[in-house]
Every structure is written in C-alpha cells, then in structure tokens.
Copies of this chain bind each other. A is one copy, B any other.
Amino acid sequence: MTTKRNTTKKRESILDGACQAFMEEGYDHTSMDRIADIAGASKRTVYNHFPSKEALFKAVLGRMMAQAMALKQISYDPDRSLEAQLENFADAKMEFIKNPAWLGLLKVTITVFISNPGLARETMKFTEDSEDTLAAWLAAAHDQGRLNVPSPALAAEAFWAMMGGAFILPVIFRGPMDAGEAREMKKELIAMFLARYTPGKQAR
C-alpha cells in the first residue's frame, strides 16, 4: 500500500523562496542553502523536490511564464479606438516592469538566457503565440479597412521591438523608469505605429 502524500505546499514555498532569492542575488550568486533558508525547508528537501539548481530555476521560470501567458489575451474590438486597444497591448507588456517581482525575475532570466541560449530558445517558443495575437488583431483591423497593414507579422514584430526597446532595455541600462516618462514614450511610439499604418497617409 503506497500512499502518496500531498507535497504541493512545501513545493510551492520552495519555488517562492527560490524566486525571491534569485531576484535578490541573481542566479549565480544564489546558493541552494539560501533558497532552503528562505523557503523554510532543509536543503535536502529542496533536492528531494528538484534534482539540481538548474532544474529549480527552470521550474521558477515555467511558473512565471504560465502566469504571464494567462495575462495577455486581447482580441479585436470593432467598436473601440485603435489607439486605446494598442495601449492595452502595451500596458500588458509594461506590467512586467511595473511589478518589481516580475522585473527582478526578468533581469535574472536575461542573464541566464545570455549564458544559456538553448534555454532561451526553448522558453521563448511559448511566447510566439502572443505575437500572433497582435498579428491577428492587425489583420482584423486591416480587413475592416481601419488600418493598412500589408504584413501583419512584420508589423507585430516591430511593435514588440518598440515596446521592448522602450521599456525593458532602459531598465537594464539606466535603472527604474519614471511612470510619466514611460506614458509619454508609450503614446509617442503608438503614434508612430499608427502614422505608418493608418490608411491614406503613407509616403509611398
């Protein structure tokens, strides 16, 4: 008679502790002892749940990705202004850097991705469909004649490039962003985007 017991509680507290520790110290400088300490578990228990530090990090990352995915599903609404809907897309992206927890984990993730490109590719497969969401939105607006977007995929990629460059890179290179400044930049970039794709206004 093998009766399995419910271990999700300890497991979650380990993930929470790992998340906090990684955020505070970065991947390399976080020791498994410290994670166990924060989680209120023994190091041995941590290893009973996760076979290695890398596996533990992947689990933390996976949980974060799942939460992030659950957050940004926006569909085309024929009745709302394009500008407002694009702002919604942008705001979803900016949630990452406004929330200190996610920002911290984003930073760690970037460092890990840099030293482990394979993991980067593997993890990023999940996010591809969020670009598809925007591309579909653009295609819908195009079909309605509200935008002129010959290549929705390219436009979507450009949009995410703008957002990433405006809201992720500065946080790395210059530190926290002023909220008002961020708002201004968001509006400016969306204005560029719409100026390019609003029908009847292209240069050629």
When each residue 131-163 of chain A gets 1 if its CB lies under 8 Å from chain B and 0 otherwise, what string results?
000000000000000000000001101101111
A and B contact pairs by CB, cutoff 8 A, 22 listed: A110-B111, A110-B114, A111-B114, A111-B115, A114-B172, A117-B175, A120-B172, A124-B174, A154-B184, A158-B185, A158-B189, A160-B165, A161-B162, A161-B169, A164-B164, A165-B166, A165-B169, A169-B169, A191-B203, A192-B192, A194-B203, A195-B196
Number of copies of chain A assembled together? 2
Helix, strand, loop or mixed for chain A's interface? Answer: helix
Nearest CB in chain B: distance from A43 CB, A: 22
Bound Cα distance A192, B162 (Å):
11
In the complex, how many residues of chain A place their beta carbon closer than 8 angstroms to a beta carbon of chain B?
46
- Whether a CB of chain B sits under 8 angstroms from the CB of A121 is yes
Nearest CB in chain B: distance from A81 CB, A: 11
- Whether a CB of chain B sits under 8 angstroms from the CB of A7 is no
Nearest CB in chain B: distance from A132 CB, A: 15
B172–A110 CB distance below 8 A:
yes
Give chain B residues whose Cβ lies under 8 Å from the Cβ of A192.
158, 192-193, 195-196
